[in-house]
């Protein structure tokens, strides 16, 4: 047995013994719920330096496997054009199914090899769109057209969300969100083949708003997924509103209110990520207002001075908000 495994077993033994003693103290009434919550509030959870998520050996395995996959993928790219449709279908869907099965086997039988099961799941998730697309082409449904894209994204959503429901693996949740977004966009494109710029802006705004809703839903249970959704959702939502403000008086008035709401939400949700996005977009809005409304009336020198002072004030305000109202542990 490796030294690391021995140490890990010792830690697990200590944890089990401590929990057993704590359970006895709770049953005897010496420790209350408030006592336990007080410990969690006062103590910062820090990973023990002796226990690492990835060992150097696993990192080397990952790098080696990645190089093998890149080499194999490049070889397939070179010979792909010479294959018949049926060979492409068998290869792409077969390899996707094989990698999915390998990931499931490692996930269920060897939990300690989570990194390898995750790699297998990710590769299979990337291969399924290619496999389904080649199959659609094989049965004479153009995979690159709107109808084929709708079918492909719908099947992918079923596969990914079904896998997430069964395995509770967050990798498939991320792919489910991506597939659902693709289904929404391809379905809209099926009914509106030549959308205007304004229509596209509204479409992105709705998609960004859905990301924000999902991010809020997973804000407490899945922090990193929530962060990713906010990272994409806020720029999509606010960026679309910013684009629409050039064409609509309504959005011209509403957009600054949305920026103010972003700062409020950053405090409410204790999110430095949201605060940073709001600050950056506020800088962009100041630049737009300066160029559009003040450069000709006041002249560029005065307009630039006002813009610079505004940016300084916003930066100071953002720093004070982060310092006074956001907890030090708030990284989202």
Q: Per-residue pLDDT tens for 56-114?
A: 666 676 677 678 778 878 888 888 889 899 999 999 999 999 999 999 999 888 888 78
As a whole number, mean pLDDT of residues 224-230 equals 91
d(CA 157, CA 236): 22
At 51, the pLDDT band (50, 70, 90 cuts) reads very low
At residue 196, φ and ψ (nearest 5 deg) are -80, 170
Contact call for residues 305 and 259 (beta carbons, < 8 A): no
Averaged pLDDT for residues 211-237:
90
* DSSP labels, 27-49: HTTSS-HHHHHHHHHH------T
Name the residue ranges covered by the structural domains of the chain. Answer: 57-194
pLDDT the model gives residue 48: 42
Spatial separation of the C-alpha atoms in residues 285 and 256, rounded to whole Å: 8
> In this predicted model, what pLDDT tens digit does every residue of 156-194 receive, in sequence order?
999 999 999 999 889 999 999 999 999 999 999 999 988
**How many CB atoms sit inside 10 A of residue 175's CB?**
25
pLDDT classification of 302: cutoffs 50, 70, 90: low
- For 85-94, write each residue's pLDDT tens digit: 999 999 999 9
Average pLDDT, whole number, for the chain? Answer: 81
Segment of 1-5, 52-56, 108-112 carrying the highest mean pLDDT: 108-112
Say if residue 219's pLDDT is above 70. yes
pLDDT at 77: 83
The pTM assigned to this predicted structure is 0.71
pLDDT at 245: 86
Backbone angles phi, psi at 59, to 5 degrees: -65, -45
Q: What is the DSSP string of 143-187?
A: TTSHHHHHHHHHHHHHHHHHHHHHH--HHHHHHHHHHHHHHHHHH
Q: Which helix (H) or strand (E) holds 252?
A: helix 249-268
């Amino acid at each position: 047995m490796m030294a690391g495994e021995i140490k890990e077993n010792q830690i697990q033994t200590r944890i089990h013994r401590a929990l057993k003693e704590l359970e006895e103290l709770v049953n005897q009434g010496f420790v209350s719920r408030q006592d336990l919550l007080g410990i969690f509030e006062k103590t910062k959870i820090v990973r023990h330096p002796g226990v690492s998520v990835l060992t150097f050996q696993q990192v080397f395995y990952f790098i080696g496997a990645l190089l093998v996959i890149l080499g194999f993928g490049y070889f397939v790219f070179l010979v792909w054009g010479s294959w018949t449709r049926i060979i492409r279908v068998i290869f792409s869907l077969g390899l996707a199914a094989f990698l999915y099965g390998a990931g499931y086997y490692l996930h269920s039988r060897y939990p300690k090899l989570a990194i390898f099961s995750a790699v297998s799941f990710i590769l299979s998730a990337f291969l399924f769109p290619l496999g389904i697309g080649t199959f659609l082409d094989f049965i004479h449904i153009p995979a690159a057209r709107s109808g084929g894209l709708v079918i492909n994204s719908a099947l992918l959503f079923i596969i990914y969300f079904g896998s997430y429901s069964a395995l509770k693996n967050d990798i498939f949740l991320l792919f489910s969100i991506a597939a659902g977004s693709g289904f929404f966009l391809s379905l809209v494109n099926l009914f509106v083949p030549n959308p205007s710029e304004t229509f596209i802006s509204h479409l992105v705004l709705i998609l960004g708003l859905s990301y924000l809703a999902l991010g809020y839903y997973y804000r407490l249970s899945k922090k990193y997924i929530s962060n990713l959704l906010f990272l994409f959702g806020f720029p999509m939502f606010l960026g679309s509103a910013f684009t629409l403000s050039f064409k609509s008086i309504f959005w011209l008035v509403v957009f600054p209110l949305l920026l103010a709401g972003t700062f409020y939400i950053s405090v409410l949700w204790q999110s430095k990520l949201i605060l940073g996005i709001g600050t950056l977009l506020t800088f962009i809005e100041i630049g737009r207002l300066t160029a559009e409304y003040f450069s000709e009336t006041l002249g560029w020198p005065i307009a630039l001075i006002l813009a610079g002072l505004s940016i300084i004030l916003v930066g100071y305000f953002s720093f004070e908000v982060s310092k006074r109202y956001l907890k030090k542990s708030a990284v989202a």
